[in-house]
Amino acid sequence: MKEVGIDRIKNVLKEIPFFEEFEEDELNYFAKQLSLRSVETNTVLFRQDDIGDYMIFIVEGSVDVQLDSPSSKRIIANYGYGSCVGEMSIVDDYPRSATIMVTEPSELLILTKNRFETINEDNPRVGIKIIKGIARNLSRRLRGSTGRFADLA
């Protein structure tokens, strides 16, 4: 029998490195703030320049990160299991920096900006852990970009 609902989400969270510092009670609380969605190949999760209000954790499958220009579309990254995308949209109000396209059937956990704000008000300890996880991800990506630029010099 397949697990459903909060128990399924909680078990998924336990497997994703982003949540390795979360205690059991924090996972229970956070699981209730997320929704789990199945998405088909070639689904656009969001487009560059859209105003965003959610982030995604990839549970299964993968997505391409794509930069769009009037003359071309360029894939700059591919993320799979355990990765998150769209995280900047829950901490700022700027347009999305890239388009995210599903490259194979995927299962995604979604955290909306409203839920994130609720978490910060109701359970600041969990909110801080989420912010630290986002900061680690952004730092890792920035270091990777810096390394690629250094190779060009």
pLDDT in tens, the chain (153 residues): 344 578 889 999 999 989 999 999 999 999 999 999 999 999 999 999 999 999 999 999 999 999 988 888 899 999 999 999 999 999 898 999 999 999 999 999 999 999 999 999 999 999 999 999 999 888 887 887 655 555 555
Q: Which helix (H) or strand (E) holds 149?
A: helix 124-152
- What are the residues facing 96 on neighbouring strands? none
The pTM of this model reads 0.87
> What is the CATH topology of the domain spanning 5-145?
Jelly Rolls (2.60.120)
CB count in 10 Å sphere of residue 103: 17
Q: How far apart are CA 70 and CA 43, in angstroms?
A: 20
Phi first, then psi: give them for residue 54, nearest 5 degrees. Answer: -160, 160
